[in-house]
Structure 1
């Protein structure tokens, strides 16, 4: 297996280079959202102790396949348009949830600009499931 990987990388070095640059760009862009990342256990504590609001930014079709109890589905593509509807949660911590924890940075930045206290779920819904925490299907 390792030999095949090395052979692929040397044969298709431009493809591997493009992949690496793209991956680094994604990580850099997402790290710009200064929201702290929370483990599933820390998120659960914040939900239970401070009534944190969970906002799932995945598309509605993914949200329906399983989401955190009482979470609100606001797809990332519409987060700017929905900021007014979140005003009632301005003084409450907000935890953003995406699929893998890599795409919530831009949404976090938008909410932070508007004065919200925002956190990101580390590893997204995938990490939540790996921790054997419950999901609701709608």
Structure 2
């Protein structure tokens, strides 16, 4: 007990340091969406289909390579035409990730159980220096 009282400052610094080191792990677990690294892995290993839910004008300015454009407003009608195999993983992308999160709910309602949004959207994709295409 004397050790704890004599070294309370060192112990508190150690606890705060440990908490700060664990913060990215805790924050990553609560962040919704798929990281860019996991998305690339799914595209390469599991033949994931990338669906861009941006408007056609945004899509033309730049999109993930090989992505198919289905605007969010048309997703319920057109997704079954674009991705016929519901067993394949579907990665939904938009400019920042917000629309893609809403699109996940629609895709899952249609039976695409492996649908996930790209966390951070196209912005995160560009920040990771991954290739984009322009139409």
TM tier, smaller: 0.7 to 0.9
Q: Equivalent residue for 2:64? A: 68
Is the 1:98–1:125 Cα contact (8 Å) retained in structure 2?
Answer: yes
Which digits, 9 at most, give the CA deviation of each residue in 1:32-58, with x for residues without a partner? xxxx51111110000000000000000
The partner residue of 1:125 within 116, 119, 122 is 122
User: In 2, Cα distance between the equivalents of 1:46 and 1:84?
Assistant: 20
Is the 2:49–2:83 Cα contact (8 Å) retained in structure 1?
Answer: no
Q: 1:113 to 1:64 in 2, by over 3 A?
A: same
User: Which has the higher relative contact order, 1 or 2, with Cα contacts under 8 A spaced 6 or more apart?
Assistant: 1
User: 1:115, CA displacement in angstroms?
Assistant: 1.2
Q: 1:114 to 1:70 in 2, by over 3 A?
A: same
Which digits, 9 at most, give the CA deviation of each residue in 1:76-112, with x for residues without a partner? 0110111331452311000000110122222111110
* C-alpha RMSD of the superposition: 1.2
Q: Equivalent residue for 1:114? A: 110
How many pairs are equivalent?
A: 103
Structure 2: segments with no counterpart, 5+ residues:
1-31
SS in 1 for 2:122: helix
Structure 1: segments with no counterpart, 5+ residues:
1-35
